[in-house]
Amino acid sequence: VIMEEVDEDLKKCQPVEDFVGVADFCATEDNQLSFTTGDRLRVHDRTSPEWWWAELYGLFGYVPSSYVRPCIDEEDVDDAWQDEEYFGSYGSLKLHLEMLSDKPRTETYREVVLSNRHCLEGRVVMDLGCGTGIISLFCARLAEPAAVYAVEASPMADQTRELVTRNGCQSVVSVFKGRVEELALPGKVDVLVSEWMGNCLLFEFMVESVLLARDRWLKEGGMMWPSSAALSLVPCQAEEEYRRKIVFWEKPYGLDFSCLKSLAQKEFFSKPKFSHEMKPEDCLSAPCDVLTLDMHSLQIPDLEKLKGEFCFRVEKSGTFHGFAAWFSVQFQSLDEVGPTLELNTGPHHPLTHWKQTLLMLDSPVFLHQGDSLSGMILLHRNPVWRRHMTLSLHWTIRSTQDSEACKTGQKSFPMWR
C-alpha cells in the first residue's frame, strides 16, 4: 500500500465518495489497497472503469471497482436486498404451486437424486432455499443419505417441518429456518443442492447465497448441484408481440393513434418481457451460450459484472424484432462415469415456468439468410438494489446483400419487479 500522504490540494479539488467493500480484497501490487467485506472506503478518483484510487484508515491505493458499492444511507434505503418482500413472496403457496407444477424442473431434480442414489449413501446434503422441501424429500426417499439439511428463510419453513414429518422423513431431514448468512449447521456437507435460478439466470441473485453457503459449509471436494450453468441467446422474430404492442396504434377503430407509437415503444419495450413463450420457428439462427458459470469456482465479486460475446449466422430470412434469452443448468454425477444431467429452459425443450425472456429492439430490422449478427452482452448488477441488474446488448449486422454495409445497435434493459 502506498504509505505517502496524498497532496492536500488534490484532495480538495476532487469529489470524494464513500463506498463499502462487498468482498475481501488482498493487494497484489505495492500501489493497491487491501480491505475486507464491510470496510468503508473513501474513493478520491475513479481512475479507470476497473480501478479506483481510495483511502482506508489514512492509507491510499488502488481498489477494484467491482469489489465495492456505494454506501447506502439507512434513511433512504431500509433494505437493499428487499428481504421482507422477497422472502414474504415465498411464504404463500402461489410460487410453490408454480414451481412444483413445473414438471421438467421438478423431475430433473428428482432424476439427479435417483441417478446418484448409491453415491449419496451415507453422505450429508444441504438443500438451500428448500421451499416445501421437495428436493430434501427426494433425497430421503430415493437415496440413503446420512442427513439432509433443509434450509429455508421464508415462513414456509414452518410448513416444511410438518411436510417432512408427514412423509416420515424426520429421522433424516432437519429443517433450518433462517438466512444463510446466519446459518448454524451441525457440520459441513458433501453435497450442496439448490434451485437458485431466475430470469436470465441471475435475476434476484439467490446465487450469492449459494456461493456463501458453498464457501462456508461445503467440504473440500464436495459437489454443487447445479454444477454449472449457461445463459443462452438467439436473435428472433416476435411478430405477434410487435403487432399487439406497436402496430395496434396505427389506426384502431379507423382512427389515427400513430402519435402514441413512440410512447408505446418506451412503455412496453424498455424492460424485458418475462415468461415469454417462444416458438422454435421464431429463432432466426442457432442459439449460442453467451455466459457460462462453473459453480465450484465462481466468486461473489464475479457477479457484479458479467460479459459475453456472440456471433450468429442468420439461417432464414425474417424480421429481427429482438433477442430471446434463457438458461440451462448441468448436474455433474457424483460417480466419475455417471451421466451429467441437464435442465434446459429453451424453446426447443419442454416448457418450464421460467419460459423465455424477450428483449425487444426499438425498431425491427429485416435480416437475410446468411447475414451475420455479432456483438456483446453485459450483465451489470445494481450497486444499491442487490437483487436487480441491467442487461445491455451491443450488436453489429453485416449484410450478404452489401458487403460494405453494416448496421450497429445497442440497448440496455433494467431488470426489476
pLDDT digits (tens, 9 = 90+) for 36-66: 877 899 999 998 877 899 999 889 999 988 7
Give the mean pLDDT of the chain.
92
Residue 10 has a pLDDT of 41
Residue 75 among the catalytic residues: no
pLDDT in tens, 348-363: 999 999 999 999 999 9
pLDDT at 404 (0 to 100): 78
Q: What is the reported pLDDT for 170?
A: 98
Q: Pick the catalytic residue from 17, 75, 195, 240.
A: 195
Same domain as 394, residue 333: yes
To the nearest 10°, report the CA torsion of 171, 177, 183, 186: -10
pLDDT tens digits, residue range 217-259? 999 999 999 999 999 999 999 999 999 999 999 999 999 999 9
Is residue 122 one of the residues assigned to a domain? yes
Marked catalytic residue, from 152, 204, 208, 241: 204
Is 204 annotated as catalytic? yes
Same domain, 408 and 304: yes
Residues written for the chain: 417
Count of domains observed in the chain: 3
Which of 53-62, 76-85, 374-383 is predicted with the least confidence, judged by mean pLDDT?
76-85
The per-residue pLDDT for 9 is 45
Q: What is the pTM of this model?
A: 0.82
Q: CATH code at 384?
A: 2.70.160.11
Neighbouring residues of 409: CB distance < 8 A, sequence distance ≥ 6: 361, 365, 393, 394, 395, 397
What range defines the domain where residue 136 resides?
Answer: 83-195
Given 40, 70, 100, the domain boundary residue is 70
Q: Which of helix, strand or coil describes residue 192?
A: strand
Sheet of strand 124-128: strand arrangement:
173-177, 147-152, 124-128, 189-194, 218-225
Asked whether residue 229 is assigned to any structural domain, the reply reads: no
